[in-house]
């Protein structure tokens, strides 16, 4: 009698989350979502980190007016929820005559946010390089810029790998926010499929897709971390 109840529950669980026919029906759509998510995530990582590094380098030159601008924009971007920015860009900017596709909006907003966090992380890394490194470099005749590029930044980057990896993963996961403006990424495909089928199977497929996508990123992050760590002299 109790075995029967147990079996019913299991069957119900499978019926709710793993219906084979729905898996077959929607795997194409979820696959499409995976591609879109990958594209955006890849673009966001490249532009976000590059912009963040660029801003940190600018900040190192200590030009007052530029630094104030950088600090203010970075603080704003870090304090706003990314969803607010996405909605503001997507529904606000067209009123100014600036029309962007939802894909572009998601890419831009997440890049800005990642750039803001990356700038702060790189800046902390630059500050943590010992003063003696600057002095040694400058005493051999290297200019400020050369010392920064060849001596300080490479050391700063090694220090920042761990926090940067964490932040990058956290922000690229926000690609899921694209669903609210209709970017056909994983969550959008999954929730659309969920409302058509009235079943949670597509959502579970979406969840598995995220794990499938981000576990390797976590592992690669850990690998980079160990590869680039080096003993301090």
Partner 1 sequence: MQSAKPILEARALKKSFKDLEVLKGIDFLIMPQELVFIIGPSGSGKSTLLRCFNRLELPSEGSVIFDGVDLVSSNTDINATRQQIGMVFQQFNLYPHLTVMRNITLALQKVSKKDADEAKNIANQVLKQVDLEEKINAYPSELSGGQQQRVAIARAMALKPKVMLFDEPTSALDPELVGSVLQVIKQLRKSGMTMVVVSHEMRFAREAADRIVFMCDGLIVEEGSPKQIFDHPKQVRTQEFVSEITR
CB of residue 144 to partner 1, shortest distance in Å = 9
Residues contributing to the site for partner 1 (CB under 8 A): 130, 132-133, 135-143, 146, 150-151, 154-155, 158, 230-233
Determine contact, residues 45/114, Cβ cutoff 8 Å.
yes
Nearer to partner 1, 16 or 133 (CB): 133
Q: Are 37 and 212 in contact (CB under 8 A)?
A: no
- Least separation in angstroms between residue 143's CB and partner 1 is 5
Which residue number, 4 or 231, has a Cβ lying nearer to partner 1? 231
Nearest residue to 213 via CA among 193, 186, 190: 186
Q: Six-digit token pair at 66? A: 């530029």
From the CB of 150, what's the least distance to partner 1, in Å?
6
CB of 146 to partner 1, least distance (A): 5
Closest contact distance (angstroms) between CB of 231 and partner 1 is 4
The two tokens of residue 6 are 């147990």
Task: Report residue 212 CA to chain centroid gap.
Answer: 16
Number of neighbouring beta carbons within 10 Å of residue 111: 23
Structure tokens, 179: 């669903």
User: By the 8 A CB rule, do 188 and 182 touch?
Assistant: yes
Q: Given the complex with partner 1, which of 38 and 142 has the nearer CB atom?
A: 142
Q: Which is nearer to partner 1, 155 or 192 (CB)?
A: 155
Nearer to partner 1, 142 or 207 (CB): 142
């Amino acid at each position: 009698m109790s075995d029967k109840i147990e079996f019913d529950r299991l069957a119900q669980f499978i019926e709710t989350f793993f219906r084979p026919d729905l898996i077959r029906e929607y795997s194409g759509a979820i696959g499409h979502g995976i591609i879109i998510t990958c594209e955006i995530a890849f673009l966001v990582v490249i532009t976000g980190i590059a912009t963040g590094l660029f801003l940190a380098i600018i900040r190192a030159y200590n030009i007052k007016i530029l630094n104030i601008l950088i600090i203010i924009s970075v603080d704003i971007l870090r304090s706003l929820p990314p969803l607010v920015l996405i909605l503001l860009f997507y529904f606000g900017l067209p009123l100014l005559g600036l029309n962007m596709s939802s894909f572009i909006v998601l890419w831009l907003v997440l890049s800005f946010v990642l750039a803001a966090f990356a700038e702060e992380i790189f800046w902390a890394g630059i500050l943590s390089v010992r003063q003696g490194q600057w002095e040694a470099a400058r005493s051999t005749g290297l200019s400020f810029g050369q010392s920064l590029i060849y001596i300080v930044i490479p050391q700063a980057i090694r220090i920042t790998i761990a926090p940067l990896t964490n932040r990058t993963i956290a922000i690229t996961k926000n690609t899921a926010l694209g669903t609210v403006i209709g970017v056909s990424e994983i969550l959008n495909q999954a929730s659309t499929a969920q409302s058509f089928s009235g079943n949670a199977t597509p959502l579970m497929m979406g969840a598995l897709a995220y794990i499938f996508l981000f576990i390797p990123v976590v592992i690669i992050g850990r690998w980079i971390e160990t590869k680039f760590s080096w003993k301090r002299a």
